[in-house]
Amino acid sequence: AQSVTQPDIHITVSEGASLELRCNYSYGATPYLFWYVQSPGQGLQLLLKYFSGDTLVQGIKGFEAEFKRSQSSFNLRRPSVHWSDAAEYFCAVDVGNTPLVFGKGTRLSVIA
Amino acid sequence: EPEVTQTPSHQVTQMGQEVILRCVPISNHLYFYWYRQILGQKVEFLVSFYNNEISEKSEIFDDQFSVERPDGSNFTLKIRSTKLEDSAMYFCASSESFRNEQFFGPGTRLTVL
């Protein structure tokens, strides 16, 4: 069965530091890949998506993600974290025959 | 900017009661979805709906659940006889086409006592 792994449950970074959130998927072909962010008490907001083409995708709020086929990974990056980035981040895949499969999420805390 | 809306934001009910969660998808979208997120766990797919019928459902979506698009704008999820384990955040989503990005609503927090 398809699965999405986000190995980091909770990450704490200092404001201004760089960030990388990891996501690995288990699926034979290349799925469509997404990162969503959930702020406390809020719904899920799409940060970025990868369908095909350039493996480095830019999203909203200064986020980017790189698809690496050889590693079955789609890691999310932010060069300089802001306090407002504190939230839960979910990686999700669409393998075509089922709707989105989500990872368990990574909670990001930002300290001054 | 168009958005998916959900009502109510929070619903408290007694075990065994029926609840209806409501969603208004983005107006030109054709595919509709329900997901749920039990506290502290990942978001799980429940059901997808297209062309006035269920296109896919998960194991979670048993006979206690049903969905309906009663008019041109609303999309509802009904739980016939709620159980304690139905307590979760329920998200509605919609997309313009198959496998296109899904836009999520803010969710309805269901608490079953």
CATH of residue A53: 2.60.40.10
Q: What is the 3-state secondary structure (H, E, C) of chain A?
A: CCEEECCCCEEEEECCCCEEECCEEECCCCCEEEEEEECCCCCEEEEEEECCCCCEEECHHHCEEEEEHHHCEEEEEECCCCHHHCEEEEEEEECCCCCCEECCCEEEEEEC
Q: What is the pLDDT of residue B40?
A: 84
pLDDT along chain A (112 residues), means of 10: 89 97 88 91 89 92 94 96 96 83 95 94
Q: Secondary structure of chain B in the HEC alphabet?
A: CCCCEEECCEEEECCCCCEEEEEECCCCCCEEEEEEECCCCCEEEEEEEECCEEEEECCCCCCCEEEECCCCCCEEEEECCCCHHHCEEEEEEEECCCCCCCEECCCEEEEEC
Amino acid at site B91:
F
Q: Which residues in chain B are closer than 8 Å to A34, comparing Cβ atoms? A: 101
Tokens of B5: 């809306």
* pLDDT, position B75: 96
Whole-number pLDDT of residue A104:
93
Instruction: Let me know: does B31 contact B98? Beta carbons within 8 Å.
Output: yes
How many domains would you assign to chain A? 1
User: What stretches in chain B show pLDDT beneath 50?
Assistant: none
Q: Give the gyration radius of chain B's Cα atoms.
A: 13
For chain B, domains (ranges, CATH) are: 5-112 (2.60.40.10)
Q: Does A49 touch chain B (CB under 8 A)?
A: yes
Judge whether A99 is closer than 8 Å to chain B, CB to CB: yes
Q: Give residue A60's domain range.
A: 3-111
Closest-CA distance, B97 to chain A, in angstroms, reads: 12
A27 inside 8 A of chain B by CB: no
Q: Which residues of B touch A49 (CB under 8 A)?
A: 101
Radius of gyration of chain A (CA): 13
Burial category of A50 from C-beta neighbours within 10 Å (exposed 0-12, middle 13-18, buried 19 and up): buried
Q: Does A107 touch chain B (CB under 8 A)?
A: no
